[in-house]
Structure 1
Amino acid sequence: MKCKKFATRKFVEIAGLLLMLVLLSGCLSTQPPSNQTKLAEDFTLPALEGGHFTLSEHFGQPILLYFFSTTCHYCQEETPNLVTMYNTYQSAGLLVVGVAVNVNSVQELRNFVKNYGITYPILIDEDEEVSESYGVYYIPHHFFINRDGEIVDNQVGLMSEAELEERILDIL
């Protein structure tokens, strides 16, 4: 009887430890620390206004790669700030690139661009392969890419104009 109690107690202890590891694994970051850089993965996507856009062709200039959806409330709220930042820092070389996901229709996307006065390139990630390769699971998601093509920061969620500007100045 003593052996059975011991075995049961050990099993419960091991099961508890395994459960704790599983629960804690969701708290661990899968991204490199923010002070480390990683080369931005190259891709080519169709542009809303025609043709294709290849990211690596724009290495050499600072890039804000922005994943969004027209139906996302936070994306709608943040878009005027992105337009302002692009208009302010375009002359310093900044390129803002919007990557649309969950696109219901091209016309809906065109209306979104027109309504917000977006002049930066808008790409369509129809199969969401690029989003997946960048680990985008929540939007809006921002990647700040320096002139060397390295991702120096990435942020998920709504960013204020001041936060956007601070990150943009870091890559200029």
Structure 2
Amino acid sequence: MKKQTRYWMRRILLLCLIGLVGFAIYQVSTDTGGKPVEGEEAPDFTLTTLDGKQRSLSDLKGKAVMINFWGTWCPPCKTEMPAIQQAYMINKSKGFEVVSVNIRENDLPVSNFAQQMGLTFPIWMDKDREVVKQYKIGPIPSTFFINRDGVIEKKIEGPLELSQLQYYINQITS
């Protein structure tokens, strides 16, 4: 009888161990690590714009917003800037805003870049990379499309062309 009891105890322990390992794997595979994900509310943040104003994402509640993380030193970022400017001009009358977040640069090179590129949308300065850390940004450019309720509809890593921008903007402005 003792051998049979030991046999069943081992079986039960083995099943419990398998269950715990399975649960741990599930947790790791579904954990976003605090990263903002599609379908969830975009985390609020406050930054100073290139023209010295304090702005918060929450100030734009009720508007369709595109957050674009970029740097002047990033070739793909430079490539997509004319398309972002064009999309901004086409859609700003529809309650669309661009939150252009420059990463870890001083005002002068960013100001010169904006002037050379003819950028008219506000540029928010993340000199300490606080928002980059909050949003867990990896490669840039990284772009978030946020609907009027403040929910992230889409996140894209890499440069976007005007047709792609327009497609996602239409989804958040309609």
Provide the residue aligned with 1:42 in structure 2: 44
Contiguous gaps of at least 5 residues in structure 1: 1-24
Q: TM-score, normalised by structure 2?
A: 0.78
Q: Is the 8 A contact 2:69 2:141 kept in 1?
A: yes
Out of 87, 90, 96, the position equivalent to 1:88 is: 90
Deviations 1:97-121 (CA, angstroms, capped at 9, x unpaired):
1000031x31100001101111111
Please give the secondary structure, in 2, of the residue aligned with 1:38: coil
Q: TM-score, normalised by structure 1?
A: 0.79
Contiguous gaps of at least 5 residues in structure 2: 1-27
Q: 1: CA distance between counterparts of 2:36 and 2:144?
A: 13
Amino acid at match of 1:107: L
Change (3 A) 1:28 1:73: farther
1:16-165 correspondence to structure 2 within 5 Å: 30=32, 34=38, 37-103=39-105, 105-165=106-166
Change (3 A) 1:85 1:29: farther
Q: Which has the larger radius of gyration?
A: 2
Deviations 1:42-86 (CA, angstroms, capped at 9, x unpaired):
111011011111110111000001100011000000000000000
- Count of aligned residue pairs for this structure pair: 147
Find runs of 4+ consecutive structure 1 residues off by over 6 angstroms.
none
Q: Is the 8 A contact 2:37 2:152 kept in 1?
A: no
Q: 1: CA distance between counterparts of 2:140 and 2:36?
A: 19
Q: Is the 8 A contact 2:145 2:152 kept in 1?
A: yes
